[in-house]
Amino acid sequence: MSDWIVEFDFKLSGRKAYGGDGFAFWFTEQKSLMGHVFGSADYWKGLAIIFDTYNNDGKGESPFIAAIDNDGTQSYDASQDGSDAALASCSMAIRNKESSARISYIEGLLTLELSLGHELLEGQSRSSLVKDYKKCFELKVELGVDKYFGLSAHTGDVADSHDIFSITTTDHSPLNVDLSVIRERYRMKIMRDQSKPMHENLSVNDFQHLVLNLLHQEQEALAIVEEMTQTHYKDIQLGIS
């Protein structure tokens, strides 16, 4: 799809005063990668919209919602809540209330809107809710195609429950869209991004550090998979016994 709208209903539940750590919406080249960036892998290729509910940088803007476009060479800085890499951001009170997000990408314009504080009556379906969307941000950005949608979350010592109740994706691509043109335009955009000084002046030490980080990321993902597999195996054993 060249143009699309994704809507999802969610609720983040936890302590009244503060929670953590948050969740993320992804539109990336690879799928189902686990890691320390809100449950998914660092150095991703594509778009992340981070819903960060823990105020790591101490600046008081929390929850902090940010759009980050990564070409696969940049690491997410949790100490700054991603503000150093954010293309656009806002702050909204998204905790402890049923809410909805609408993310649209139409003609190169990325828009995030949020509807907060639904009252779901007994017996009422979420699809029948009237949603009052308010704009969080919008920006022009080249996202390309051939990517996967996803959601992930994680918690730390301060924990919330992250619930996604529904997610809907709608194709809004023009009828005669030429995907080959979009792919070429995105390829050129990546080449421009990776030719910026921060990439072309990469020292040997910086390159080694980048490679080691990528290896660490792969090991971390494998460790998570191994832990989950062992836990599942133990559950099976307990079930049999």
- Cβ proximity of 142 and 186 under 8 Å: yes
What distance in Å separates the CA atoms of residue 52 and residue 39, rounded to the nearest whole number? 12
Domain spans, the chain: 4-200
Residue 124 is predicted with a pLDDT of: 78
Residue 2 is predicted with a pLDDT of: 96
Residue 20 is predicted with a pLDDT of: 87
Q: 74-112: per-residue pLDDT in tens?
A: 999 988 888 999 999 999 999 999 999 999 999 999 999
Q: Which CATH architecture has domain 4-200?
A: Sandwich (2.60)
Residue 59 is predicted with a pLDDT of: 73
What distance in Å separates the CA atoms of residue 214 and residue 211, rounded to the nearest whole number? 5
- Cβ proximity of 38 and 140 under 8 Å: no
